[in-house]
Amino acid sequence: MIDSYQSNPQSLLSLSQTNLETFTDINSNPRFTGYNSVPAVQGATTSLALPFTPAESPFTFDYSINQRQKTPYAETFNLSVQHEFPFNLAVTASYVGRLGRHLIQNLDVAMPTNLFDPTSGQSYFQAATAYDKMVDAGVDPSTVPDSGYFHNIFPNFSFNGYMGAQAYYAYFANNRGNETNALFAADTDPTASPAGQSFRFFFPQTSSIYTQSTTGSSNYNALQVSVRQALKYGLEYDVNYTYAKSMDEGSDPERNGVSGSPVINTFSPHQWYAPSDFDVRHNITANYTAPLPFGKGAPFLNQNRILNQIIGGFQLNGLVHYSTGFPFSAVAAGNWGTNFAFSSNMVATAKIPTGGHHYDAPDQVETALDGISAAQAHANLRFAYVGEAGQRNNYRADGYFSLDDGLARSFHIFHEHQIRLSVEVFNVLNTNRFNSEPSGGSSNPLQTDGTSANFGTYIGGGSALLLQPRQMQFSGKYVF
């Protein structure tokens, strides 16, 4: 936390100082005498009175650390059952769990207050959400009654010839997706309120203070099954299957510091509890070693020395890896409906099937959307309402599948000398799987912007592929 905080340019710990040569010896350094007592500093021309109140600058974004921290921890536990069957067959089934508690999240302690109006009986989130629904329904400002919550809070607000609630609605509708802008305009204007009040929703010194807080949690639960068998003549295989579910409120590593795992709505901090960014529901890995059943020591054609030199000693080796895709969200850049500093995600109004990769013939693109176009997906999405963080990781991208095989042959020369020749084939089936890394720019693989005409499509050229095309590798080895 100190590392991330001191690296922020707004932190005093990161400011460059040039007159510190007198503070180089611990024996002569000034002593701490109290929180409000500042030691004399050589070269200082003015004194700083403490406590210090920063100047008012309402449209600033600050970062801090929550003073009520708790130590993050994780509880891990597992239960395994193993049984050995005849013919060297071993089966293991395990339950594996990991619970993370007091994980670092970033709470905005200066986000707009969810102010309650006793006259209308509504909170700000409730009243603004009602306006959001009216905007989405195409309600005209002239038909909006000048009454209720926003009439009571901002009766004198004016915009485009409207007053009170009608004016607020007109400004609000003009900023759909950025409703905090409408609130900021009205809240910082003392002439809009009934008694000259201002800053009832925002703070006069800042519009956002993201504070590192240990309020997060995570849960991982998995069933792991392994099957292993070693048969005669060197034939053996392993098959491993994992069915897992990982849930958290933010998957950013702690090193991301002040920008990681933001909480959009501090009044409801767990809205983004959803599958982790790295959640893989199904994962299968398998490997095998299979000597061909011919030649010396094999069950067939094992008596003829000359025949053994021709067909004996061959061995197949293979690896298989399959996993389902990572989740992704429909983001909306610039959608500051709930929070000034971070955007809310979009919300699905109807099911949007996703998963894998599919060729969209009309648009001639590969897409994670299953059976629908990006335009149809847009029709099933809306901006988050005020107070909503939007939906997180409710869609799935392409998974992973690879099959690698190799064929090797050892030739005995004399004594202990051998020559081993092998050929290995990577991505034997030449399958395509597409990278699901969310897009942060035009060159990244998956377009996750819910407002984009390319939503759900894999872009970025070669970087969009998880696998290389089929490749063959030949090698020879002399052993002596």
What are the pLDDT digits (tens) for 282-334?
999 999 998 887 767 667 666 666 666 667 678 899 999 999 999 999 998 88
Question: So what's the pLDDT on residue 439?
Answer: 47
Segments forming the whole domain that contains residue 352: 280-479
Residue 230 has pLDDT above 60, yes or no: yes
Of 181, 201, 221, the last residue of a domain is: 201
CA 45 vs. chain centroid, Å, equals 49
- Partner residues linked to 241 by β-bridges: 225, 284
Residue 33 lies in a domain: no
CA distance 65 to 51: 18
- Asked if residue 92 belongs to a domain, the reply is no
Q: How much is the pLDDT for 355?
A: 93
Q: Quote the strand ranges of 140-207, DSSP E.
A: 158-159, 162-163
Q: In this predicted structure, what is the pLDDT of residue 436?
A: 79
Give the pLDDT score at 441. Answer: 45
Question: Is residue 393 pLDDT above 80, yes or no?
Answer: yes
What's the pLDDT at 365? 86
**Which pLDDT value is given to residue 415?**
82
Of 229, 236, 226, give the one whose Cα is nearest residue 88: 229
Neighbour-count burial of 67, counting CB atoms closer than 10 A to its CB (0-12 exposed, 13-18 middle, 19+ buried): exposed
34 found inside a domain: no
285 and 395, same domain (yes or no): yes
Backbone phi and psi for residue 153, each to the nearest 5 degrees, phi listed first: -85, -40
Quickly tell me which residue has 């939503």 as its tokens.
Answer: 455
Among the ranges 240-244, 356-360, 432-436, which has the highest mean pLDDT value?
240-244
Give the DSSP H/E element, type plus range, for residue 317: strand 314-323
Asked if residue 247 is part of any domain, the answer here is no
In 182-302, where do the E strands start and end?
208-230, 236-248, 262-263, 274-275, 282-291
Residue 26 has pLDDT above 70, yes or no: no
Residue, of 313 and 474, whose pLDDT is higher = 474
Query: Is residue 345 within 8 Å of 432, Cβ to Cβ?
Result: no
Residue spans of beta strands (DSSP E) within 73-207: 73-85, 89-108, 116-117, 122-123, 158-159, 162-163
pLDDT tens figures, 92-102: 999 999 999 99
Helices 164-174 and 179-187 cross at an angle (nearest 10°) of: 140
pLDDT the model gives residue 164:
96
Last residue of a domain, one of 201, 227, 245: 201
Within a domain: 110: no
For residue 323, is it within any domain? Answer: yes
Give, rounded to a whole angstrom, the gap between the first and last alpha carbons of the chain. 57
Q: Count H helices and E strands in the chain, helices first.
A: 7, 22
Asked if residue 223 lies in contact with residue 93, where contact means CB atoms within 8 angstroms, the answer is yes
Entry pTM:
0.83
Kindly state whether residue 84 falls inside one of the protein's structural domains: no
Alpha-carbon gap, residue 300 to 104, rounded angstroms: 63
Listed ranges 2-6, 75-79, 377-381; the one with the highest mean pLDDT: 75-79
In a domain, 326, yes or no: yes
What is the tally of structural domains in the chain? 2
Specify whether 191 is located in the same domain as 305.
no
* pLDDT tens figures, 282-291: 999 999 998 8
Average pLDDT over residues 250-255: 84
Instruction: Tell me the average pLDDT across 112-139.
Output: 96
User: Last residue of some domain: 201, 230, 248?
Assistant: 201
